[in-house]
Homo-oligomer: A and B are copies of this chain.
Amino acid sequence: MSATNMRFRLAITCIILEVILIILFGLFVQYNEDTDAKHWHEKINNKTSNAENDFYYRYPSFQDVHVMIFIGFGFLMTFLQRYGFSSVGFNFLIAAFALQWATLMQGFLHGLHHGKIEIGVESMINADFCTGSVLISFGAVLGKTSPVQLLVMALIEVTLFATCDNDAVLLTSKHKNGSVYHSDVFAMIGTIFLWMFWPSFNSAITAHGDDQHRTAMNTYYSLASCTLATFAMSALVNNEGKLDMVHIQNAALAGGVAVGTAGEMMLTPFGSMIVGFLAGVISVLGFKYLTPLLESKLKIQDTCGVHNLHGMPGVLGAIVGAITASFASKQVYGEGLKDVFPDVYDNSLTASDQGLRQAISLAVTLGMALLGGLLTGFLLKIPIYGAPPDTICFEDSIYWEVPGEEGGHEELADVRTEEAEKLNG
């Protein structure tokens, strides 16, 4: 078992990563205007109310996203009976690292202010978003990777994903769902929290006011419509008309993914429900017919990070976004056009050019996802991470102290059991 002994490898990796993070934060990170005592109070004195602090606009959404990352993703994978510690525990470790690294990468790539990264609740949400995209890959490789390998994966993926925007996260966010069989009610805790808070996810960093409000509402109706489509299709593709829990969980997200781009636009609840319905249909059909084909013919397994099917609702969403964008006009949006399409508002782009740009961005994102996946896969195959051999994967006891193994901890439980036996017997 010494090949998987993490004692020094994990300790040193964690310590080095955290020390680097701390040094870089010390050099580059500072409070933004809304979190800095001096600057905020200068603003307050100029007749801004505390209610205008971005904290009150975004913190509830941030905490919803936070629950999606740590409970939603963490518990989705607890269905593996002997791998619950690793599912929740490694999700926890990876996410805690990724959100710090994402703060830096996004700060470097999306603009420094006088050489500094200025942070607040919006950057925290963006860091959580980026973390989410890593956790999707985590789901695909769960059980066959060591925590060190997962940290390296997070390091690479955050660096790559920081260059993409929110769409990129959503594009691939279906990945994990198909990869596992959710045999357990525990996993449903994860699913339902993801489904419920997806409106917060989509609206968390849109513009204040009508944009946040509209995005949350469009997502709400898309998810509802998608859920009915999924139950319909799940029954339809099964000979006995039995529902498949994996399909139901696809529905959970497909409707949210598919309005990830267009949800902020004047898509209307009507449009959102059509998109959600299509997303549900595509997702179930893809799952039933496309996935087995890809796996058997092309040997593309779930361990591969760029599985085409799982991006389908995301691709649908990008197309819907491009079409909806190309119909944007001042007549429909009024002054609100400035928040949603600033370039169309100030006439530096026509609406159809805006739509075209969104379509191109889809192609770029898909290309980057492919390249990034190949690169990550290549780097992770270097045999230095203490990954478990194929014969002993999906087993908590490789990396964790599990009750019953060690003397110290279960004394309490032993006492209880003995006493209970006396009582009952």
Best-surrounded residue of A42, A103, A217, A248 (most CB of chain B within 10 A): A217
Interface residue count for A (Cβ, 8 Å)?
156
Contact B193 A71 (CB under 8 A): yes
In the complex, chain B residues whose CB is within 8 Å of the CB of A239: 7
A94-127 interface (Cβ within 8 A of B): 96-97, 99-100, 103, 119-121, 124
A394 in contact (CB, < 8 A): yes
A380 in contact (CB, < 8 A): no
Contact B59 A21 (CB under 8 A): no
A352 in contact (CB, < 8 A): no
Contact B240 A42 (CB under 8 A): no
In the complex, chain B residues whose CB is within 8 Å of the CB of A44: 209, 335
Contact B246 A409 (CB under 8 A): yes
Q: A103 to chain B: closest CB distance in Å? A: 8
Does more than half of chain A's interface fall in helix, strand or loop, or is it mixed?
Answer: helix
A293 in contact (CB, < 8 A): no
Contact A189 B189 (CB under 8 A): yes
A161 in contact (CB, < 8 A): no
A237-279 interface (Cβ within 8 A of B): 238-246, 248, 266, 268-270, 273-274, 277
Q: Mark A193-228, 1 if CB is under 8 A from B, else 0.
A: 101110010000000111111101100110111011
Contact A100 B221 (CB under 8 A): yes
* A224/B97 contact (C-beta < 8 A), A236-B8, A243-B89 known: yes
Contact B419 A11 (CB under 8 A): no
Contact A119 B185 (CB under 8 A): no
